[in-house]
Amino acid sequence: MELNLEKDLQKKLNDFFKGKDAVIVDPTTSTRSTIKKILNSLGFPLSSIHIVGDFYQAAEIVREKMAAIIFSAGDLGKKNAQDLLDLHVDLIPNRENCVFMVVSKQNSEASAASYIDTEVDSYICQPFTTVTLQNAIIEAFTKKVNQTRYQREVCKIKSHIHKNDFEEALVGIDNSMQLSDDLVWTYYLKGLVYEKQGNLEAAREEYQVALSYSERHFQTLTGLMRTYQGLRQYGDAYSAANALLSRFPLAINQIPDLIRICLANRKFEDLEKLSLVLNQVPDLSENIRKYISAGLAMCGKHLLISNQSKDIALRSLKRALESSDDNVHVVVTVGRTYLECNYFNEALHVANSYEDKLGDSEEFKIFELELFYQTSETKGQVLTLGNELLQKNIKRPRVYEIIIQASIELKRRNEAIEQLVHDASSEHPNLKSFFQSFLN
């Protein structure tokens, strides 16, 4: 493989490669081999290219060699490219002489967008040809060797911020003012310093100045969204989120923030739109799936209880269960929503479907008791089930409440009800007046 690069570019690449090691970590042999050939054709010495098959081997070499150049598959088993990038940035915070490229099987916009606000220099989606891979690699290296003084200063500032050396970062920020007319990065990084120091008002002001240089600066829009959240200005946070999503694809790592903003603004219909990423990216992390399923459960709950958008509500509840990964909180939230809105068949289906998996959970057992109380015509059986929970030391207020209510409906002796109220009040003294009200 021969490349006819311009002499000036080739010289810059040769200088950039001197003394550096490269790590290629990818489970696919053909991908590793192709990247190695391209690197060598650019002038990188074969003896300094290290090929490994998993994260742990890569991490060992990166630490040992302080390798400046890394090509990583997106999925590295239990780890991923972001984990390797985090390690790399911790080892080498100043990125002006480093290159990190991700080669991913995920070709969704959401997957690619997750790396925008990181130190990834290029994100390459499979399938690709040798030519497209080669062009992407050349482009990444060309940008790196042709950095302006301003861009190099930005790298230094970001390095100081990563190390929490905020005084040095602010010195660098002042210096950068003289190096460019486009100061979007300068004001963004100044805002980031203030944000990390907890001065959110000052951070917001700097982010807004940064946007005056460019309304399409991803990092600034993201920072502004975070800052408004921190200031509990949720309406402004929602506006910032809309501005971000109108200019950039949805990034997976932003989903938790976006869900919180939607919930705070009661924009429940938007939650369903966010959940579409479940179809676009099948291997979402457990944490992201948890946020989405919980958000869908809250969306469905609000819309169904308030009798709004019934179709969206039921669809959201169904998708919450499908994406719950058997999370008991999500499952019980959905089940209780059905119960509260008199969708008894759906609530029974939830109970029956998850009994084997969640039957030992206290929260699920209490949901079953609630369901049994509302659907059973035999209140005596409700008492039996409730007392079984008490004997298992499941003495939540809701358990006592249901047992007391069932006892009243069965017209049990006053002494028995008084004893239940006494036991409940002793167990939960802060709710004594609530339980005493059942005796009136």
Residues 290 and 346 in one domain: yes
Answer yes or no: is 2 within a domain: no
Please, how many CA atoms are within 13 Å of residue 47, restricted to the half-sphere of its CB?
2
**Strand ranges inside 312-412, DSSP E:** none
Residues 244 and 156 in one domain: yes
Residues 112 and 202 in one domain: no
* Spatial distance between the Cα atoms of 234 and 166, rounded to a whole number of angstroms: 28
Which of 224, 241, 265 marks a domain boundary? 265
Q: Exposed/middle/buried for 311, CB within 10 Å: 0-12, 13-18, 19+? A: exposed
Residues 59 and 135 in one domain: yes
Residues 321 and 332 in one domain: yes
pLDDT of residue 249: 81
pLDDT of residue 116: 82
* Spatial distance between the Cα atoms of 187 and 209, rounded to a whole number of angstroms: 7
Which of 223, 250, 265 marks a domain boundary? 265
Per-residue pLDDT of the chain (440 residues; tens, 9 = 90+): 567 788 999 999 999 999 999 999 988 888 889 999 999 999 999 999 999 988 999 999 999 999 999 999 888 888 888 899 999 999 999 999 999 999 987 766 767 777 888 889 999 887 788 899 999 999 999 999 999 999 999 999 999 999 999 999 999 999 999 999 999 999 999 999 999 999 999 999 999 999 999 999 999 999 999 999 999 999 999 999 999 988 988 777 788 888 889 888 888 778 777 777 666 665 566 777 888 888 889 888 988 888 877 888 898 899 899 888 899 999 999 999 999 999 999 999 999 999 999 989 999 999 999 999 998 877 788 899 999 999 999 999 999 999 999 999 988 899 999 999 999 999 999 999 999 998 87
Per-state percent for the chain, helix, strand, coil, to nearest 5: 70, 5, 25
Residues 127 and 174 in one domain: no
Residues 181 and 137 in one domain: no
Answer yes or no: is 366 within a domain: no
CA distance between the termini of the chain:
90
* Spatial distance between the Cα atoms of 156 and 173, rounded to a whole number of angstroms: 10
Answer yes or no: is 278 within a domain: yes
Answer yes or no: is 371 within a domain: no
Please, how many CA atoms are within 13 Å of residue 262, restricted to the half-sphere of its CB?
24
Residues 16 and 138 in one domain: yes
* Spatial distance between the Cα atoms of 201 and 183, rounded to a whole number of angstroms: 20
Residue 4 per-residue DSSP state: -
282, 288 Cβ separation under 8 angstroms = no
Give phi and psi for 279, each to the nearest 5.
-80, -30
The type of residue at 438 is F
Report in angstroms the alpha-carbon separations of 346 from 328, 339, 353.
Answer: 16, 8, 10
pLDDT of residue 1: 57
Give phi and psi for 23, each to the nearest 5.
-120, 130
Count the domains in the chain.
4
* Spatial distance between the Cα atoms of 420 and 348, rounded to a whole number of angstroms: 28
- At how many degrees (to 10) do helices 362-375 and 397-409 cross? 20
* Spatial distance between the Cα atoms of 440 and 437, rounded to a whole number of angstroms: 6
pLDDT of residue 139: 94
pLDDT of residue 30: 87
Residues 125 and 16 in one domain: yes
Q: If you search the block for the tokens 């239990």, which residue do you land on?
A: 78
Answer yes or no: is 93 within a domain: yes
The type of residue at 328 is V
Answer yes or no: is 1 within a domain: no
Answer yes or no: is 334 within a domain: yes
Q: How far is CA 184 from the centre of its chain?
A: 26
* Spatial distance between the Cα atoms of 288 and 284, rounded to a whole number of angstroms: 6
Report the predicted TM-score, pTM, of the whole model to 2 decimal places.
0.78
Q: Domain of residue 85: give its range.
A: 7-146
DSSP letter string, 208-263: HHHHHH-TT-HHHHHHHHHHHHHTT-HHHHHHHHHHHHHHSPPPGGGHHHHHHHHH
Rounded to 10 degrees, the C-alpha dihedral 8/10/13/14 comes to -110
Residues 94 and 191 in one domain: no
Report in angstroms the alpha-carbon separations of 126 from 29, 54, 102, 106, 130.
Answer: 14, 18, 11, 7, 11
Answer yes or no: is 275 within a domain: yes
382, 366 Cβ separation under 8 angstroms = no
* Spatial distance between the Cα atoms of 264 and 44, rounded to a whole number of angstroms: 52
| Helix (DSSP H) and strand (DSSP E) numbers for the chain | 24, 7
Residues 132 and 223 in one domain: no
Residue 50 per-residue DSSP state: E
For residue 32, what are its two tokens? Answer: 């590793």
Find residue 70's DSSP bridge partners: 23, 100
pLDDT of residue 50: 95
* Spatial distance between the Cα atoms of 211 and 190, rounded to a whole number of angstroms: 13
Residues 176 and 251 in one domain: yes
pLDDT of residue 51: 94
Which of 297, 327, 357 marks a domain boundary? 357
pLDDT of residue 199: 97
pLDDT of residue 366: 94
Residue 431 per-residue DSSP state: G
Rounded to 10 degrees, the C-alpha dihedral 98/104/106/111 comes to -10
Question: What CATH number is associated with residue 32?
Answer: 3.40.50.2300
Report in angstroms the alpha-carbon separations of 70 from 57, 120, 151.
Answer: 13, 10, 21
